[in-house]
């Protein structure tokens, strides 16, 4: 599977951001990508850098809606899968949401961020309702794909649930600032998750300076052995292309040993 991670900035003009995203999708498709993924809130400013004020529903849109419909058209035209991330409105609630669109333009479903954080410049509890979609894995034309939206990647239970559901690739849309993890811990975390669960991880980060945050970029891909196999630069808009050999999933230590030797009957009491 050839995948593309679109590392782009987001300005105040949402339509211009969307147009850049669609152009990047088309460019990735022309380079042979079978799946294209985007960073957290890829087509709008990162709202949670400031505490929520007023009715935040005005900032969000439904799924399906304008963004998913635009990408469905391009996905269908190119025969390429799209993994997006946007601020979703569903009735009175709003979510950090990743719709997954198959290569024929079908909206397969969505993942909503489960765990919602709250600290300086990441005031997410004022914007997002905790997700109710669980940890779905989507059967796409490119492979079996799960999504761990930003903060969810810190929860080993969630990352393991995606493995148990058969994910071959876990896409991680992120909004990570420069020097947020200066010791490389965020990368190590994704490498360990890939190794322990026997799938590829693809972390796609936004880039660019906004009101309070300077987003780092530095998107990367790990294989099921925990090795970084592709990396994007710091602070630059780019489309990172990576070739994934999905046969490595079935041959991984996790799929042949770690998952086989689990004892979940013991863990239930420990983790409750």
Task: Parse the chain into domains and list their residue ranges.
Answer: 2-271
Written as six digits, the tokens of 1 are 């599977």
Written as six digits, the tokens of 188 are 């190590």
Q: CA–CA distance from 116 to each of 31, 52, 197 (Å)?
A: 36, 14, 23
Q: 2-271 has which fold?
A: Nitrilase/N-carbamoyl-D-aminoacid amidohydrolase (3.60.110)
By C-alpha distance, which of 63, 266, 253, 271 is closest to 158?
271
CA distance 46 to 22: 19
pLDDT tens for the chain, 272 residues: list them: 999 999 999 999 999 999 999 999 999 999 999 999 999 999 999 999 999 999 999 999 999 999 999 999 999 999 999 999 999 999 999 999 999 999 999 999 999 999 999 999 999 999 999 999 999 999 999 999 999 999 999 999 999 999 999 999 999 999 999 988 778 898 999 999 999 999 999 999 999 999 999 999 999 999 999 999 999 999 999 999 999 999 999 999 999 999 999 999 888 888 76
Is residue 241 within 8 Å of residue 230, measured between CB atoms? Answer: yes
Is residue 212 within 8 Å of residue 197, measured between CB atoms? Answer: no
């Amino acid at each position: 599977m050839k995948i593309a991670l679109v590392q782009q900035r987001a300005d105040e003009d949402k339509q211009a951001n969307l147009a850049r995203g669609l152009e990047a999708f088309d460019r990735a498709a022309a380079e042979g990508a079978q799946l294209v993924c985007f960073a957290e809130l890829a087509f709008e400013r990162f709202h949670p850098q400031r505490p929520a004020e007023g009715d935040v529903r005005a900032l969000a849109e439904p799924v399906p809606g304008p963004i998913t419909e635009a990408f469905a058209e391009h996905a269908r035209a190119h025969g390429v899968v799209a993994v997006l991330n946007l601020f979703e409105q569903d009735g009175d609630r709003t979510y950090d949401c990743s719709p997954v669109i198959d290569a024929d333009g079908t909206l397969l479903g969505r993942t909503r961020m489960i765990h919602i954080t709250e600290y300086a410049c990441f005031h997410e509890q004022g914007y997002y309702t905790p997700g109710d979609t669980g940890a779905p894995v989507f059967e796409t034309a490119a492979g079996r794909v799960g999504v761990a939206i930003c903060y969810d990647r810190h929860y080993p239970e969630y990352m393991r649930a995606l493995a148990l559901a058969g994910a071959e690739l876990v896409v991680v849309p992120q909004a990570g600032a420069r020097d947020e993890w200066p010791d490389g811990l965020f990368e190590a975390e994704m490498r360990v998750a890939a190794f322990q669960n026997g799938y590829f991880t693809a972390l796609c980060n936004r880039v660019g300076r906004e009101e309070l945050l300077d987003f780092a970029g530095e998107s990367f891909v790990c294989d099921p052995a925990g090795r970084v196999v592709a990396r994007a630069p710091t602070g630059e808009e780019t489309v990172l292309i990576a070739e994934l050999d999905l046969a490595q999933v079935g041959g991984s230590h996790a799929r042949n040993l770690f998952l086989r030797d689990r004892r979940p009957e013991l863990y239930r009491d420990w983790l409750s």
